[in-house]
Structure 1
C-alpha cells in the first residue's frame, strides 16, 4: 500500500544523505530543511515529495565524468582527431591533446567556443563552463570567444566546438549560430561544427540539427526525455501510483499542477515561465547553476520564499 507520508520521508531522507555525504557541495541539510518548511499544507507536502524524488543534481565530480565522456567518447567517435590534430604522435585521447601545455599549432585546427552573446554577463553558463574546462587542465589556447572573426574564419580551422552546460529548446543556440553566419564570423564551408553540452532535451537536439540543416552536430553526455518533464511525464514515471489512488492518475497530476501554481502565487514567485523556459518542466540542477528550463520553484527566491538553489 502506497503511503504519502512514507514516500515523503523516503524522498527527503535520500536527498539529505546525499548532502551529508558531501555530494551536494554548497547545499547544507539546514538549507534543505528550510526549503522543505516552505511547504505547509498536506497537498504542498505531496508536491514536495515528488519534487525531491524527481530532483537530479549533478555534483562537481559528476561533471568531471561528463566532461571526459563528451571529449573522450562522444567527440572522439565523431572526429578523426589523431589524423587531423595530432598525426604521428602517441597521444592516447582527444582530452590529452586538449590538455597539452604547448599545443604548437594544434589550437589553430580546433577551437572551443562558449555559446554566448557579447553582452551576456560573466555569470552566464558559457563562461562558467569555460572556467570549469580550464580547471580540468584544458589549455586556454584552444578557447575562443564567438566574436573573434580572425580565429573562427581561419583557413587552418578544422573543428569548431561550441559548448554550454545544457540544451533546452535549442532556440537560443539557433539564433546564436545564425547570427555568426549572418555576420560572416564563421565560414560554414571551411569548418566542421559541433555543439556539446552536459545534458540536453531530445527535442532541443533535433531542433538545432534541423534548423541548421545539418551544419551543426549536437553531442550531449545525457539526453533528457519527455518522460523527465515533471508534470507531462509524471504518469510515465509513476505509472504504478494509479493503483493506490481513488482518482485517475491524470486527475491526480492535474490536481498536483494546481497545487504547484497556487504555491507560486502564495510565495510570490512571479516568473514568466512558471514551468521553466519553453515549458520544459525540468528538475535538473548543476553544482554551478540551474538551467532556465528547470521549474522556478527550485531556484526563484524572493523576500517571501527561500528556494533551495540559485539560478
Structure 2
C-alpha cells in the first residue's frame, strides 16, 4: 500500500506548483484525476512517476528558447575583445539571418515550429521579413549566400524530424535543393535553437549533420531521464526494475499499443519514455499514460 505521508506530500507539492505558477490550473494539469486511474497496489509507482513529471509553463519555455538563442553570442566573442566590439558583431549577426522552422513529413499549420517562428519576432525582436517558410528560406539563402540560417523549435526528441527537414528537397527554379546541399555549397554554418533537446537528439543531429549545424539549446534532457531505460533516474532504486514493468502493465490496461516506438507506443515515440509536457503541447516522446484519453483513462495533461 502507498504511504499516506508520501501521497499527502506529493499532493501538497502539486498544489504548490500551481500556487507558484509553475503548473497551470487543474483544467490543464490534473494530478488528482490522473491518480484515480490506478489500483491501490499501483499508487507507489504512480506517485513516483508523477514526482518525476516536468511541466514547462509558457513563461519558462520562452525563457529557455531565449537562452538558447542568446547562447549563440558566446561563439562570436574573441578573448580580450571589448564588450562593445562583441555587441556590434552580435547585432550584425542578428540583422543577417534567415529564420525558419522544423516541419514534419507533411507540414501542418499546427506544428510547433510555426509558433516558435512567431516567438522569434515577438521575443527576440527578429524582423518579420527575416522569417521564412522552409521552401522560401531555401530561396532566400540561394539569393543571399552570406546570410546565416537559423532553425527555431520547442523540442528535439529523437532528432529525426530535424534530419528530415535538413535533407528534404525543395523545388528551386526547377532544381531540387535541400538545406544540407545548399549549406555545403555556401560553406556556411546553420544554427538550431530549440528550447529543450534530448541527449539522443543532440547525438543524432551531429551524427548526420556534422559541424554544418551548430546546436544551441536552453536545456538538455539526459538519456537517463527516460522512465524506460535500464538505469533510469526517474525511479527510486527500489523501483528501477519494476518501474518500466508498471508502465507496460497499466498502459496495456488503458489500451495503449506496443508499436515498437511508433507514435503512441507505451514507451513514447522512439521509445524515449519522457515525463515532460509544455503548456502548448505534449511531445510524442512523452509516455502516453500521461495524456491518454481512451477507454476511460483520465489524462494528467492533454496533447495540445
Structure 2 residue aligned with 1:83: none
1:184 matched to 2:173: no
- Could you tell me whether the CA contact under 8 Å between 1:58 and 1:286 is conserved in 2? yes
1:206 matched to 2:203: yes
Count residues with an aligned counterpart: 282
- Could you tell me whether the CA contact under 8 Å between 1:194 and 1:219 is conserved in 2? yes
- Could you tell me whether the CA contact under 8 Å between 2:290 and 2:301 is conserved in 1? yes
- Could you tell me whether the CA contact under 8 Å between 1:116 and 1:176 is conserved in 2? yes
* Residues 234/43 of structure 1: CA separation in 2 closer, same or farther (3 Å cut): farther
Structure 2 residue aligned with 1:101: none
Distance in 2 separating the partners of 1:117 and 1:237: 29
Deviation at 1:24, TM superposition (A): 2.3
Match of 1:66 among 64, 67, 75: 64
1:224 matched to 2:217: no
Deviation at 1:88, TM superposition (A): 8.8
1:289 matched to 2:276: no
Deviation at 1:20, TM superposition (A): 3.2
What is the CA RMSD across the aligned residues, in angstroms?
3.1
Distance in 1 separating the partners of 2:147 and 2:93: 15
1:113 matched to 2:105: no
Match of 1:144 among 116, 132, 135: 132
Runs of 5+ consecutive residues of structure 1 not aligned to the other structure: 81-86, 99-105, 243-248
Q: Could you say what secondary structure the match of 2:210 adopts?
A: coil
Deviation at 1:119, TM superposition (A): 3.0
Structure 1 residue aligned with 2:43: 45
Deviation at 1:118, TM superposition (A): 7.4
Structure 2 residue aligned with 1:123: 110
Deviations 1:155-175 (A, max 9, x none): 344210112111111122112
Q: TM-score, normalised by structure 2?
A: 0.81
Runs of 5+ consecutive residues of structure 2 not aligned to the other structure: 78-83, 260-264
Distance in 2 separating the partners of 1:111 and 1:4: 55
Deviations 1:273-309 (A, max 9, x none): 2111111111111111111111111112225212121
* Residues 157/310 of structure 1: CA separation in 2 closer, same or farther (3 Å cut): farther
Q: TM-score, normalised by structure 1?
A: 0.79
Distance in 2 separating the partners of 1:143 and 1:305: 41
Distance in 2 separating the partners of 1:118 and 1:232: 28
Distance in 2 separating the partners of 1:132 and 1:300: 29
Deviation at 1:50, TM superposition (A): 1.2
Distance in 2 separating the partners of 1:259 and 1:154: 55
